A and B are shown apart, each in its own frame.
Chain A
Amino acid sequence: AQSVTQLDSQVPVFEEAPVELRCNYSSSVSVYLFWYVQYPNQGLQLLLKYLSGSTLVKGINGFEAEFNKSQTSFHLRKPSVHISDTAEYFCAVSERNQGGKLIFGQGTELSVKP
């Protein structure tokens, strides 16, 4: 079985500052890793995913994440955030080839202040 821990429930940050949202997972099998974003009153949207290959993954809206197998982490980063990045961010894991059956973390609320 897999599990996901998002280490921060809320992250306040000023506009144009860098941000890192932390995610750790546990699994006894090989996994795929994902970050989804949820804007208010909308459905979840895929930001980026790691399936295989390069451990640095780039996604939409300037976000990137790095898969670290030894630390079982998949932290999300952005060098300079905008007000429009204010949203809830979910890290998720799935078994390989079971990419639609996701185990989500509890979410991190990113609040970008002017």
Chain B
Amino acid sequence: GAGVSQSPRYKVTKRGQDVALRCDPISGHVSLYWYRQALGQGPEFLTYFNYEAQQDKSGLPNDRFSAERPEGSISTLTIQRTEQRDSAMYRCASSQTHGTGELFFGEGSRLTVL
């Protein structure tokens, strides 16, 4: 597609529910990243993929968070047993390669956990 597409744009869920956030990167981009942005803060790195391989998941806060990119294109970030502290904007970005940092960001998925 023309840009990075994320869905849903807004998600409201109850504490304890699982949520899945989807990212469709720019066609042909090798690298895909997930960031989380709390209100009034800069984005915080969660994890990234080169093709289908998860290269770094050091930013995932705990084992309730997981991500996959099974065919090297679309990625899903899953949060199990959501908690109120998970409320944030989740941003996906893609780039042609990992090294030089020109990331193209989607508009984000705003998650609210009640």
Interface residues of A (CB under 8 A from B): 4, 32, 34, 36, 41-46, 49, 51, 90, 92, 94, 97-107
Residues of A within 8 A of B41 (CB): 106-107
Interchain CB contact under 8 A, B91 and A44 = yes
Q: Contact size class for B?
A: 20 to 34
Interchain CB contact under 8 A, B44 and A98 = no
Which of these, A41, A94, A104, contacts B44 with CB under 8 Å?
A104
Residues of B within 8 A of A100 (CB): 31, 33, 48, 93, 95, 98-99, 101, 103
Main secondary structure of the interface of B (DSSP, over half): loop
Interchain CB contact under 8 A, A99 and B98 = yes
Residues of A within 8 A of B4 (CB): 43
Please report the C-alpha to C-alpha distance between residue A43 and residue B5 in the assembled complex, in whole angstroms: 10
B62 at the interface (CB under 8 A from A): no
Interface residues of B (CB under 8 A from A): 3-4, 31, 33, 35, 40-45, 48, 56, 91, 93, 95, 98-108
Complex A-B: 25 CB contacts under 8 Å? A4-B42, A32-B100, A32-B101, A43-B4, A43-B91, A43-B93, A43-B105, A44-B93, A46-B102, A46-B103, A49-B101, A49-B102, A51-B100, A92-B101, A97-B98, A99-B100, A99-B102, A100-B48, A101-B33, A101-B48, A101-B56, A102-B35, A104-B43, A104-B44, A105-B42
Interchain CB contact under 8 A, B48 and A104 = no
Smallest CB gap from A88: residue in B? B42
Please report the C-alpha to C-alpha distance between residue A42 and residue B3 in the assembled complex, in whole angstroms: 12
Residues of B within 8 A of A92 (CB): 42, 101
How near does chain B come to A51, taking the closest CB pair, in angstroms? 6
Interchain CB contact under 8 A, B44 and A49 = no
Smallest CB gap from B102: residue in A? A46
Residues of B within 8 A of A102 (CB): 35, 43, 45, 101, 103
Residues of A within 8 A of B98 (CB): 97-100
